[in-house]
Structure 1
Amino acid sequence: MLILQIVVLALIQGITEFLPISSSGHLLLVPVITGWPDQGILTDVMVHMGSFLAVVVYFWRDCVNLVLGTFDLLRGRVTAWGKLAMLLILGTIPAVVVGLVLDKLGFMEIVRHMPEVVAWNAIIFGTLLYLCDRFGLSARRMSDMTWAPALIIGLAQAVAIIPGVSRSGITMTAARALGFERPESARFAFLLGIPAIAGAGILKLGEAVHAGDTISFGMVLTAILTFFVALGTITVLMKLVKYMSFLPFAIYRVALGVILLVVIYSGIPLGAVN
């Protein structure tokens, strides 16, 4: 890959993975808009692994406590962190099941060349993000999380496999609709993403190795750059959600979707938009 493509992919993934605006949707649009060769699913997996490492580093204390809580569970002792670990596992199951089914059906290969899917999802789920954030109560914290809301948020995360939905966006939307405070919604969304991103990444990397594909230096460099960009994005976002709503992100999503639809249905070649 060209160094410019590496930098662009790292910036897009690092910024959009944790902002509620869909990283997979933006990654699919890169070759469509720039005219560059499709970077391929393996590159997408590598940049997602960079994002995974960033969220683990940022929430390292939570991760350590979750591991310790899991060990306590294995010893028959239920703690608050052990309970949260169980809820995160419960919330991850829907995404695993849906992801495996869609992968077997070759779903991602089909939608990789359908920017209109990204456009419509950006509009629909951007609107839902605004409505749930605007009218959702702020009466619950992560300590109030039980199996029912964890499963609902997990089901929402499963929908995010479709490009343009946004994993962080739809999980925050679901959490806000259930009355969780904005910072707590973001925190749970990020923690819920750890097993989902890691599981999908390991699965795809395993398939690539089995198929004889090679991980290039460019892919590794893109993942490293993504890590640093993503770490900065998480740090900024976790500060912002204490003081601002999700309205700017909703506006961006709707605007992006509308612009894409106008370009697509006007017949303008997207590859020329650069």
Structure 2
Amino acid sequence: MHIFEVIILGLVQGLTEFLPVSSSAHLRIVGEFLPSQTDPGATFTAITQIGTELAVLIYFRKKIGRVISRWFLSLSSKVPRDDPDARMGWLVIIGTIPIALLGVLLQSLIRENFRSLWLTAAVLIVFGILLGIADHYGARRRGLDDLTYPHGVAYGFAQALALIPGVSRSGATTTLGRALGYTRTASAEYSFLLAVPAVFASGLFELYKSFDLGAGPYTLGETAVATTIAFVVGYAVIAFLMQYLKRGSFVPFVVYRIALGVLILVLLALGVLPAFSTVIAG
């Protein structure tokens, strides 16, 4: 049993999924310091993200319920097509297309080449700097109701960058949102809403495959424990972040990303960390 390891990984997933620091990078790095010293793998990561996305569904349940109902009503013209909530439904659909296409086309890269710690460290630093620049110079005048379809598509391509561990789904989309002039809370909220279809689709697909192939180095029962922990911790993190962004900036996360990236590069150069790690089949 790897119960200690999955508890740690569940905590890490929940703590880092919604912060702009990359949960997949943290799972990849933390795995090297656990007793088994293995990469948890893309399958384990995708399944545990189901837990954190359940936290999004519950925290934003009123908003999501309104978007879904008014989107369906707009199809029969019972509400205007330009209704803000109905439009949000279309924006989420449009914004999901890039990551859906690239996720299928780049599967082998995602599972192998993209999991190099050299790459992870580099993108932690680069996208940390970009987040800092966008947050500092970005205007603060646009809210969710100002979101346009071109911006929705751009958000979608930003989200697709999160296929590379270290980029961070919330980090990439928030960076773009700040660069386009959206407020911190608006950028974060749309990032969370946009992630729901893609993460659930990926997680459920990997869960389906895992019944035959396993969930990486852990059993499905152990993965379920990590997913449950990620849900509970993730909910608390969302609540904290949405309150924090009303008055705080992304500077602490920028500093953390750069420091972590530099630390990983040093550990790789010293041979303390391997660039790649074998994922043991479940």
* TM-score, scaled relative to structure 2: 0.90
Partner Cα separation in structure 2 for residue 141 and residue 19 of structure 1: 20
Equivalent position amino acid for 2:265 in 1: L
DSSP-derived class of the 2:167 partner: coil
Shift of 1:113: 4.9
Over 3 Å counting, the alpha-carbon distance change for 1:35 and 1:264 in structure 2 is farther
Give the percent of matched residue pairs that are identical in Structure 1 and Structure 2. 35
Aligned partner of 1:42 in structure 2 is: 43
Q: Secondary structure of 1:18's partner?
A: coil
Q: In 2, distance between residues paired with 1:142 and 1:29? A: 34
Question: Helix, strand or coil for the counterpart of 2:18?
Answer: coil
Which region of structure 1 is more displaced relative to structure 2, 42-51 or 111-120? Answer: 111-120
Unmatched segments (≥5 aa) in structure 2: 276-282
* Structure 2 residue identity aligned to 1:27: L
Q: 1:227 aligns with which of 221, 227, 231?
A: 231
Question: Structure 1 length as normaliser, TM-score?
Answer: 0.93
In structure 1, the residue matched to 2:5 is 5
Unaligned runs of 5+ in 1: none
Cα 1:256–1:219 change in 2 (3 A) is same
Cα drift, residue 213 of structure 1 = 3.5
AA aligned to 1:14 is: G
Change (3 A) 1:212 1:158: closer
Aligned to 1:20: 20
1: distance between equivalents of 2:89 and 2:18?
Answer: 21
Are the equivalent residues in 1 in contact too, given 2:14–2:232 (CA < 8 A)? yes
1:85-100 to 2 correspondences below 5 Å:
85-100=89-104
Aligned residue number for residue 280 of structure 2: none
Q: What is the rounded CA distance, in whole Å, between the counterparts of 2:125 and 2:63 in structure 1?
A: 33
Shift of 1:112: 6.3
Superposed counterparts of 1:110-189, under 5 Å: 110-111=112-113, 113-189=115-191
Give the counterpart of 1:218 among 195, 198, 222. 222
SS at match of 1:160: helix
Q: 1: distance between equivalents of 2:154 and 2:198?
A: 15
Looking at structure 2, the residues matched to 23 and 212 of structure 1 have their Cα atoms a distance apart, in angstroms, of 23
Alpha-carbon shift at residue 269 of structure 1 (Å): 4.2
Q: In the TM superposition, what is the alpha-carbon distance from 1:129 to its structure 2 partner?
A: 0.4
**Is contact 1:28–1:112 with CA below 8 Å preserved after alignment?**
no
The letter for the 2-side match of 1:94 is P
